[in-house]
Amino acid sequence: MLLEACSLCYSVLYSSILAVLAGMVRLITHNLLACHAKGCTSNNFPLQFQDAAIELRDAEFNADFLRGFLPRIEWPALVGAARQLGDASLPAEQPEMLDDEFLQKLHHVLLEIHVEEGAMVCPNCKHVYPISNGIPNMLLAEHEIG
Amino acid sequence: MPEVKPTTVASENPQTYEDVHVHAVYDEIAPHFSSTRYKPWPIIAAFLSSLPTGSVGVDLGTGNGKYLPLPSDRPGAVWTIGLDRSINLLKLAKRAGDVDREVVWGDVLDNPWRRGAFDYAISIATIHHLATPERRKVAVQRVLEAICPSHGRALIYVWAIEQDELSKRNIPTDADEDRRHTASTDQAKGQDVFVPWVLAQPAEAKPKTRRREKSGQARTPEPAEAGAEAQQAPPKVFNRYYHMFAKGELCELVADAAKELGLTLGDTSSGDVRETGQSSKEHGVQIVQDGWERSNYYVELRRWER
Ligand SMILES: C[S@@+](CC[C@H](N)C(=O)[O-])C[C@H]1O[C@@H](n2cnc3c(N)ncnc32)[C@H](O)[C@@H]1O
Ligand SMILES: [Zn+2]
């Protein structure tokens, strides 16, 4: 009875376990982020990784998702970011043929490389967005907001 | 049971006000709050189920990431990235549904994305935490800017003055008077309130009864009464700021936001069709549906160009 009732204590415990497991920035997100510091409106993408600590973790492969998402990707930015993180498996040009081998590589680059610590730096204004516990901090100080 | 108290935003700096009455509160109550948020609302679930496979979207004000695992009938078919200002809630969102999620620490008033990068955006129960009409409008503009100008879709939910009958919440009557009073004017006006969150002190807390919402019954979105049974140590009360929307106010806000961005409001056939040969495209946003569900107003939007 008491155990069942104590959902509050349970959730506190649960959350501290999760905090340890908390994951990372992946290239799918990196491909969508851009610098938004005051006045920084051009050449503000893609952000450059700095001191990136990476971890590889398996993710569920979904070929249909990848095929649908492909047109939304900024391809050169993805290829460049992957190379920065030590993965040169993607071709410089998006291939016409989306065979399984290519989709597996794309899957790995987009969803299985996690940047846990480090930062992302704007190529234009050099603003630094820290990554801590795998969560990128995109908040700006009040005077930096555009 | 704690009551909803009317308040007025008496601060020169709305950011400071929200820091104290919204952000600090969520960071403090995160685990407890999260334990009450697990049931997706039907219209939001339906919206996420209707997205084509391969869609990528953003959840602005994701909280504990309740919506990141959806659609449940096609897990992994779409990818929703969560953004929130509460780092403690994000740490939970990160593993929503026990799968690695992508989350970003950010503010719904900012725009840390490539313009139009997303196929869809949702902002659920978040924009009502912004303390001025101007800030709420900017938040709607951020939603519109995040999604693709040719096909992007969005769903926004905010808290309503009109509360569910099932709600145990006590809405101050002056809110009703306020509403009646403004019904004659053309601007729908909501009500600023504090909603207390009662947090039992973990060490001494001894909740006696099983929490009601575990029964899976439909309930109101923000169970402020949870933990009120806790004995011994006096529970800590956090007052969260909300702007409760009046009928029509959300759609007006969308109209204002769209207008300022130079977007035509309506479907692709509305307004004057420009002469052919004009090089620049016309951009618009359509209200696909709007309504009231479980004490909230919602609006679904679709962007278009011609
Ligand atoms: C009532 S919760 C809703 C969470 C989630 N959307 C859901 O429906 O379960 C409101 C959320 O908005 C977030 N929030 C409030 N103001 C914000 C802001 N200016 N920027 C980003 N997030 C904000 C809070 O941290 C909190 O997670
Ligand atoms: Zn920049």
| CATH number of the structural domain spanning residue A97 | 2.20.25.10
Q: Is A33's Cβ below 8 Å from some Cβ in B?
A: yes
Give per-residue pLDDT as tens, A73-85.
Answer: 999 999 999 999 9
The percent of residues above 90 in pLDDT, for chain A, comes to 79
Q: What is the pLDDT of residue B232?
A: 63
Q: What is the pLDDT of residue B301?
A: 98
ipTM of the complex: 0.85
Domain holding B262, by residue range, is: 5-195+238-305
Structure tokens at B138: 């900017």
B206 and B247 assigned to the same domain: no
User: At residue A102, does pLDDT exceed 50?
Assistant: yes
Q: What is the pLDDT of residue A61?
A: 97
Pocket test of ligand 1: the residue of B47, B129, B156 to mutate, having most ligand atoms within 8 Å of its CB, is B129
B59 and B13 assigned to the same domain: yes
Domain holding A49, by residue range, is: 2-144
Highest averaged pLDDT of the listed ranges A17-31, B115-129, B235-249: B115-129
Give per-residue pLDDT as tens, B61-72.
Answer: 999 999 999 999
User: At residue B129, does pLDDT exceed 80?
Assistant: yes
B205 and B89 assigned to the same domain: no
Averaged over B146-160, what is the pLDDT? 97
- Residue B85 in contact with ligand 1 by CB distance below 6 A: yes
Of A21, A28, A133, the CB nearest to B79: A28
Q: Is A128's Cβ below 8 Å from some Cβ in B?
A: no
CA distance B199 to B286: 41
Q: What is the pLDDT of residue B41?
A: 85
| Pick among A30, A72, A111, A140 to test the B interface (most B CBs inside 10 A) | A72
Do A22 and B114 lie within an 8 Å CB cutoff?
Answer: no
* Cα dist from B10 to B100, B127, B133, B168, B244, whole Å: 41, 19, 14, 28, 17
Q: What CATH number should be reported for the domain holding residue B261?
A: 3.40.50.150
More confident residue, B188 or B136: B136
Of B35, B101, B111, the CB nearest to A11: B35
User: At residue B91, does pLDDT exceed 60?
Assistant: yes
Evaluate the CA torsion angle A63, A60, A73, B62 in order and state its sign. positive
User: At residue B28, does pLDDT exceed 50?
Assistant: yes
- Residue B68 in contact with ligand 1 by CB distance below 6 A: no
B76 and B125 assigned to the same domain: yes
Of A5, A9, A70, the CB nearest to B209: A5
User: At residue A17, does pLDDT exceed 90?
Assistant: no
User: At residue B221, does pLDDT exceed 80?
Assistant: no
Which atom, in ligand 1's list, is nearest to the CA of B122? 6
Determine the angle formed by the axes of helices B133-146 and B249-260, rounding to 10 degrees. Answer: 60
B142 and B223 assigned to the same domain: no
- Closest-lying ligand to the alpha carbon of B132? 1
The percent of residues above 70 in pLDDT, for chain A, comes to 84
| Pick among A135, A137, A144 to test the B interface (most B CBs inside 10 A) | A135
Which atom, in ligand 1's list, is nearest to the CA of B106? 21
Name the domain count of chain B.
2
Q: What is the pLDDT of residue B38?
A: 67
Which run of H or E residues covers position A139? Answer: none
Question: C-alpha angle with apex B296: B295 to B302, nearest 5 degrees?
Answer: 155
Which of the four pLDDT bands, split at 50, 70 and 90, describes residue B127?
A: very high
Contacting residues of B for A25, CB less than 8 Å apart: 102
Of B210, B234, B258, the one marking the end of a domain is B234
Q: What is the pLDDT of residue B268?
A: 84
User: At residue A71, does pLDDT exceed 90?
Assistant: yes
User: At residue A2, does pLDDT exceed 90?
Assistant: no
Q: What is the pLDDT of residue B274?
A: 58
User: At residue B208, does pLDDT exceed 90?
Assistant: no
DSSP, collapsed to helix, strand or coil, labels residue A65 as helix
The percent of residues above 90 in pLDDT, for chain B, comes to 60
Contact B191, B178 (CB under 8 A): yes
In A, minimum Cα distance to B111 occurs at A36
Of B78, B102, B104, the CB nearest to A138: B104
User: At residue A6, does pLDDT exceed 80?
Assistant: no
Contacting residues of B for A34, CB less than 8 Å apart: 112-115
B112 and B170 assigned to the same domain: yes
Give per-residue pLDDT as tens, B229-251.
Answer: 445 677 888 889 999 999 999 99
Taking all residues of chain B, what is their mean pLDDT, rounded to a whole number? 83
DSSP, collapsed to helix, strand or coil, labels residue A97 as coil
Of A22, A36, A59, the CB nearest to B91: A22
B31 and B50 assigned to the same domain: yes
Contacting residues of A for B55, CB less than 8 Å apart: 68-69
Averaged over B106-123, what is the pLDDT? 97
B114 and B215 assigned to the same domain: no
Point out the least confidently predicted range of A10-14, A133-137, B282-286: A10-14
Contacting residues of A for B109, CB less than 8 Å apart: 145
Structure tokens at B288: 């696909």
Q: What is the pLDDT of residue B271?
A: 66
Which atom, in ligand 1's list, is nearest to the CA of B139? 19
- Residue B123 in contact with ligand 1 by CB distance below 6 A: no
B184 and B252 assigned to the same domain: yes
CA distance A36 to B111: 6
Q: Is A38's Cβ below 8 Å from some Cβ in B?
A: no
The string of DSSP codes covering chain B is: ----EE-----S-HHHHHIIIIIHHHHHHHHHHHTT-----HHHHHHHHTSPTT-EEEEET-TTTTTTT--TTSTTSSEEEEEES-HHHHHHHTTGGGS---EEE--TTS--B-TT-BSEEEEES-GGG-SSHHHHHHHHHHHHHHB-TTT-EEEEEEEBSS--TT------HHHHHHHHHHHTSSS---EEEEEEEEE--TTT----S--GGGG-----S--TTTTTT--SSPPEEEEEEEEEBPTTHHHHHHHHHHHHTTPEES-TT-SPPPPTT--SPPEEEEEEEEEEETTEEEEEEEEEE-
Nearest protein CA to atom 27 of ligand 1, as residue: B63
Pocket test of ligand 1: the residue of B67, B84, B90, B134 to mutate, having most ligand atoms within 8 Å of its CB, is B84
Point out the least confidently predicted range of A7-11, A119-123, B83-87, B144-148: A7-11
- How many angstroms does the Cα of residue B131 sit away from the middle of ligand 1? 13
Give per-residue pLDDT as tens, A105-121.
Answer: 999 999 999 999 999 99
- Closest residue by Cα to residue A44 from A121, A103, A101, A110: A121
Which of the four pLDDT bands, split at 50, 70 and 90, describes residue A11?
A: very low
B125 and B221 assigned to the same domain: no
More confident residue, B251 or B20: B251
B110 and B122 assigned to the same domain: yes
- Residue B107 in contact with ligand 1 by CB distance below 6 A: yes
* Cα dist from B177 to B2, B31, B295, whole Å: 21, 36, 18
